[in-house]
Amino acid sequence: MALNIADLFEHAVDAFAQNLAVTCGDEERTYAELEERTNRLAHHLASKGVGPGSHVGVYGRNSMSLVETIIAIYKLRAVFININYRYVAGELKYVLDDAECVALVHDRGLCDIVASVLPQTPQVKGVVVIEDGSGLDLAAGAVPFEEALASSSPVRDFGERSADDIYMLYTGGTTGFPKGVVWRHEDVWRALGGGIDHVSGEVLKDEWAHVERGKQLHMTRLCIAPLIHGSAQWSLLPSLFAGETVVLLPRFDPELMWREIDRRKVNVVVLVGDAMARPFIETYLAGDYDGSSIFSISTNAAVFSPSVKEQIVAAFPHALISEAVGSSEMGFVGLGFKTPGADSDGPRVSAGPHTIVIDEDGKKAAPGVAGRLGRGVYIPLGYYKDPVKTAALFQEVDGVRYAFSGDWARYEEDGTITLLGRGNTCINTGGEKVYPEEVEGALKAHPDVFDAIVVGVDDERLGQRVGAIIQARPGRTVDLSALDAHLRNLVAGYKVPRSIWLVDQVGRTVSGKQDYSWAKRFVEEHAPVSA
């Protein structure tokens, strides 16, 4: 036995066999059912050559079969490679080649893309297809998901696993090609999976600690993000380690979300920033939903804007509202809570265990000084097949090795840290630094603004000027003069956008994060309505 994702899941199976483990739409699985089906799929994949260290691509939307695939891969000590279901042929081929995938599990609705790519990726020997009702023809040699299970053994007869087994997460960040961040199972469990208590900083003593907690308190958790995103994976997995029930959505639909909350009596809702939180709270306020089962609402990987946070607190004054901050390269770095009456003055959290901010000299930053945000002790091994980026990821401070993902933050006098965003999105305007997230929060506090993304625009005099792409609320018109006055009450004048674009839909990644690559392309290709 080891601090290994598959072992931690199997401990929960042995303790909570008849508990409801996962729901997705009308499909349900108990822990015993999930165990049998994942064993069957693991044996099928093994028959196709998948073994310890093998990389298996998974290309699909949230479904019960996708959950079963993730667990089956880890049972074999193989490596799950997350592939964005929005990727077209060239992007799919890039990940299959870069990750050296030997097998692929994908939705049937993606068959045409897969069929066009497989002849160019001969290393992919086994293909399993998840049924989604699309009716597309399968690529040659592909096996339907249920057929793969029916012909395979349900027995758990896998060999001993290790805490050193590999977990990998392909992340595109805000720019560039996706890259694989490589972790040991124990380290990623400590950093993201509850192996360290985010509130107390206590290190869980052993691999049965999740089960012991699950025996004391059973929760039903709604995970809204797609499982190709790290935030969703690390909402799902710790819940399965503790015998909880996880509710998944086959697609992002705010009305479906609330129907499932009431139907499943959800206790904990996990979102990713405003892109999910604003439809979540505004659909609730406009509808006739109960929501009384909720006692915790959390955002992972992206903080709430102040205005959205206030809406949630007002609607659920007795719920615990939290913001857990981290990244694929660092894991958990900070946690913030919001209570009625407390100020919402921006993205500020309490630093997690082993979190640090360093200044330009590589020393621990003093209060009020912005610097690079890092995390030590339980950190990744680096980027897959990229020694240059791996070397740049790490830095030693006072004899301790830390990982730095490119995020910037500032220590405050009270010991908290204010999050400033990615360094590569920081805008330098006339020598002043502007971090987009602060301005985006101010924009979204205006009653006519639904969403916004802020970018730097080339400027001959200033170097860069602040630009904003704005999505108005349905049925509203944004008065730019009133918006300017609103912003000048919230941020310094040099942070107020000088160029503005109005759009029907702000570009975001599938996980709900701001898509700065899209934004930069958009401002290059379109004239602003105000400059």
Kindly state the average pLDDT of the residues 193-198: 88
Residue 176 pLDDT grade (very low, low, confident, very high; cuts 50, 70, 90): low
Asked if 251 and 25 touch (Cβ cutoff 8 Å), the reply is no
**DSSP code, position 138:** P
- Is there a contact between 358 and 371 (Cβ–Cβ < 8 Å)? yes
- Better pLDDT: 325 or 403: 403
pLDDT at 145: 98
State residue 509's pLDDT score. 80
- The DSSP annotation for 296-351 comes to EEEEESSPPPHHHHHHHHHH-TTSEEEEEEEETTTEEEEEEEE-TT----SSEEEE
CATH of 252-422, one of 3.50.50.60, 3.40.50.12780, 3.20.20.370, 3.40.50.12240: 3.40.50.12780
Mean pLDDT of 480-484: 94
pLDDT at 345: 53
Burial class of residue 315 in the structure, from the number of CB atoms within 10 Å of its CB (0-12 exposed, 13-18 middle, 19+ buried): middle
Domain ranges of the chain: 31-186, 252-422, 426-525
Pairing state between β 463-472 and 449-459: antiparallel
Span 293-321, pLDDT tens digits: 999 999 987 788 888 999 999 999 999 99
Give dist(CA 182, CA 163) in Å, integer.
13
Task: Find, among 4, 1, 11, the residue nearest to 209 by Cα.
Answer: 11
> pLDDT digit string (tens) for 153-168?
999 999 999 999 999 9
| Residue 136 or residue 173, greater confidence | 136
Least confident of 61-70, 90-99, 197-206, 362-371: 197-206
Residue 197: its pLDDT value, please?
A: 84
- For residue 232, what is the enclosing H or E element? helix 230-241
Q: pLDDT per residue over 251-276, tens digit each?
A: 999 999 999 999 999 999 999 888 89
Type of residue at 340: P
CA-CA distance, 169 to 272, in Å (whole number)? 17
pTM for this model (two decimals):
0.86
Q: By mean pLDDT, which of 287-301, 314-328, 344-358, 428-442 is the weakest?
A: 344-358
Q: Which two tokens stand for residue 514?
A: 């701001």
pLDDT of 352 reads: 84
What pLDDT is attached to residue 1? 56
CA distance 521 to 531: 17
The tokens for 43 are: 């044996």
pLDDT at 285: 96
CB-CB contact of 409 with 420 (8 Å): yes
* Topology agreement, domain 31-186 and domain 252-422: yes
Structure tokens at 531: 């400059």
Residues 6+ apart with CB under 8 A from 124: 57, 96, 101, 102, 103, 104, 118
Distance CA 418, CA 412 (A): 7
Mean pLDDT along residues 417-438: 82
Q: Return the amino acid letter for 301.
A: A
Torsions phi, psi for 279 (to 5 deg): -60, -35
Q: Specify the CATH number for 31-186; select among 3.40.50.980, 3.40.640.10, 3.30.590.20, 1.20.120.1200.
A: 3.40.50.980
Handedness of CA 33, 36, 38, 41 (dihedral sign): negative
User: What pLDDT is attached to residue 469?
Assistant: 96
Question: Would you place residue 342 in the very low, low, confident or very high pLDDT band (cuts 50, 70, 90)?
Answer: low
Side-by-side strand order, sheet with 382-383:
166-171, 179-184, 382-383
349-396 pLDDT tens trace: 888 888 999 998 999 999 999 899 999 999 999 999 999 999 999 999
Q: Rg (Cα) of the chain, in Å, rounded?
A: 23
Amino acid code (one letter) for 323 = E
pLDDT at residue 174 is higher than 50: no
What is the second-level CATH architecture of the domain 426-525? 2-Layer Sandwich (3.30)
Structure tokens at 5: 């994702």
What is the per-residue pLDDT for 175? 45
Higher pLDDT, 347 or 223: 223
